[in-house]
Amino acid sequence: MERLILIAVIGSVTAILMRTVRQEYAVLIGIATAVLLLLGTLLRLTGIAETLHRICAEYRIAPAMIGSILKILGIAYLTEFGVNVSKDAGQQAIAGGISIGGRVLILSCALPAVVTMLETGISLIREASP
């Protein structure tokens, strides 16, 4: 955790430094800092993903469901990252484009999960009714 804060602080200060000298390098340093922070966080997440997969295998929940949940999370984070980077560089239009693209991708990934859930719910109700 301390390493991440250190990276963030150093990165922000360096970006401000660069802004006075060469503005484009400030953007690049901002991107690089964000990438480093994300990498640091992701490495912790791998453990959780593996545990979930293992438990799913025990319970005969289709691993596809947990897989699609994780996939949606990944897409969301990448989209967020792209939007922020573009906004930092001052390009609102590009940010908007990435945001729309990300939403469409998430919905298309989520569709099978939603269908499965509705089917399970309906079959549960049908099971219970006389």
Partner 1 sequence: MDINLLFKIAGIGILVTVIVQMLRQNGREELATVAAIAGLILATMLVVSMIASLLETVQRTFSLY
Partner 2 sequence: MRKTLLFGIVLLLSVAFAESDEIREGIDALLETIELSDWDAWFLQKDGEWTALPSEYLRAITSSDAFAKDGLTLGAICAYLSPLLRSSAAKVVLLMGLATICAIANGLSDESQIGETTRTVLRIGVSGVILVLCFSEVRRTISAIETIGRTGELLLPVIAGFLTLSGMENTGLLLSATHSLLSEIVLRLLETCIVPCAVAGGVLSMLDAGEGRLASVGRLLHRAAKGILGAACSLYMLITAFRSVAAGSADGLLLKTTKFAAGSIPAIGSLLSESVDTAFQCLGFVRNALGITGCVLVVSIAAKPALSAFMTRSALRVSAHLSEPLSGKPFAELLRASGDMLHLLLLSELAAIAMTLMMIAPVFGIGKYV
Contact residues: partner 1, CB under 8 A: 6-7, 10-11, 14, 17-18, 21-22, 24-25, 28-29, 31-33, 35-36, 38-39, 42-43, 45-46, 49, 67, 70-71, 73-75, 77-78
Tokens 């990944």 -> residue: 74
Q: Which stretch binds partner 2 (CB under 8 A): 5-13, 16-24, 28-36, 106-114?
A: 106-114
- Tell me the residue type at 89: A
- Cα separation, 36 vs 39, whole angstroms: 5
Q: Which stretch binds partner 2 (CB under 8 A): 6-14, 15-23, 25-33, 100-108?
A: 100-108
* Token code pair at residue 25: 């390098």
Going by C-beta distance under 8 Å and a sequence separation of 6 or more, which residues neighbour residue 30?
A: 11, 15, 85, 88
Of 34 and 116, the one with the shorter C-beta distance to partner 1 is 34
> Smallest gap, in angstroms, from Cβ of residue 104 to partner 1?
16
- Chosen residue from 61, 90, 91, 92 binding partner 2 by CB under 8 A: 61
Q: Provide DSSP, 4-42.
A: HHHHHHHHHHHHHHHHHH-HHHHHHHHHHHHHHHHHHHH
Going by C-beta distance under 8 Å and a sequence separation of 6 or more, which residues neighbour residue 25?
A: 18
CA angle 97, 98, 101 (to 5 degrees): 85
- Chosen residue from 22, 48, 90, 92 binding partner 2 by CB under 8 A: 48
Work out whether 34 is an interface residue with partner 2 (CB under 8 A): no
Residues that bind partner 2 (CB under 8 A): 45, 48, 51-52, 55-56, 58-59, 61-62, 65-66, 68-70, 72-73, 76-77, 79-80, 83, 99, 102-103, 106-107, 110, 113-114, 116-117, 120-121, 123-125, 127-130
